[in-house]
Homo-oligomer: A and B are copies of this chain.
Amino acid sequence: MTSDSRLSWRDVRDRIHEHILTGRYGPGDRLPRDADIAEELGCARSTVQRAMQDLSDSGLVERRRKGGTRVRAEPVTRATLDIPITRREVEQSGARYGYQLIRRRMAPAPRGVVAAFGLGASRPMLRVEALHLSDGRPYIFEDRWICPETSPEVNDLDFTEESANEWLVLNKPYTRLDLRFYAVSANPRLSDLLETEPGAALLVIERTTWVDDAPITTVKAITTPGYQLLTGS
């Protein structure tokens, strides 16, 4: 038994981190293979893997399928965000969920939607505006555009009972997701729909999805005052 035989993955993580801080492994450098580090430290390879996973989760190193592990040239704060279906989000908070379709119609995609999808020109798409309610009060207003070429089923769906949010998450898995967060002041229509003061600060969660380069949907989820989106790792 060597003196290092009881190294925990936290010990290994701290040693590798120490080597990064002291410059033994510089920004962008490739780290030794897990097996080699395990041999050097006299611990199991799985212990090194666990340590590397932790350093990767917190954004200090990058793991590549075949390219091994590198020190990030610029560390980042990395988080995984899981956004549930809005119905579930409301139900998980212990409130009663409600849904109200505001409007559903085909229309030429406006410039912002064309740009979000990265398309060259406008084309007719399905716009669905709907309100999600929590205990009878407005919770999120969603303003959504759906590309009917990618989801021809939507021509037969009226979205009066089931939300487009729920139908799409269940039926249209994406291969690419763009997400953006920003704040807007409530304009008269939003303050009316969301029953809030005009000018109130609202968090907007904008999501755009594609399946193999074909646009699926882009949606602005405009939340009510006080709404917080949380993540934990």
Contact across chains for A54 and B183 when beta carbons are under 8 A apart: no
Write out, one digit per residue, whether chain A residues 177-205 have a CB within 8 A of any chain B CB (1) or not (0): 11111111100000000000001111100
A121 within 8 A of B: no
A82 within 8 A of B: yes
Chain B contacts of A207 at CB under 8 A? Answer: 77
Q: Which residue of B lies closest to A208 (CB)?
A: B232
Chain B contacts of A107 at CB under 8 A? Answer: none
Chain B contacts of A228 at CB under 8 A? Answer: 180-182
Contact across chains for B10 and A180 when beta carbons are under 8 A apart: no
CB distance from A173 to the nearest CB of B (A): 5
Contact across chains for A74 and B85 when beta carbons are under 8 A apart: yes
A90 within 8 A of B: no
Q: Which of B74, B171, B176, B212 contacts A84 (CB 8 A)?
A: B74
Contact across chains for B229 and A181 when beta carbons are under 8 A apart: yes
Write out, one digit per residue, whether chain A residues 55-75 have a CB within 8 A of any chain B CB (1) or not (0): 100111000000000000011
Q: Which residue of B lies closest to A53 (CB)?
A: B65
Chain B contacts of A212 at CB under 8 A? Answer: 10
CB distance from A66 to the nearest CB of B (A): 11
CB distance from A224 to the nearest CB of B (A): 10
Interface residues of A in 207-223 (CB under 8 A from B): 207, 212, 223
Contact across chains for A76 and B84 when beta carbons are under 8 A apart: yes
A230 within 8 A of B: yes
A1 within 8 A of B: no
Chain B contacts of A75 at CB under 8 A? Answer: 85, 169-170
Between A10, A177, A233, the greatest number of chain B beta carbons within 10 A of the residue's beta carbon is seen for A177
Chain B contacts of A178 at CB under 8 A? Answer: 230-233
User: Known contacts being A21-B171, A175-B54, A228-B180, is A81 close to B80, with CB within 8 Å?
Assistant: yes
The contact sample of 11 A-B pairs, CB cut-off 8 A, is A58-B175, A76-B83, A76-B169, A77-B83, A77-B179, A80-B81, A178-B232, A179-B232, A182-B226, A182-B227, A183-B223
Residue positions of A touching B, CB distance < 8 A: 10, 17, 21, 54-55, 58-60, 74-85, 88, 169-171, 173-185, 199-203, 207, 212, 223, 225-233
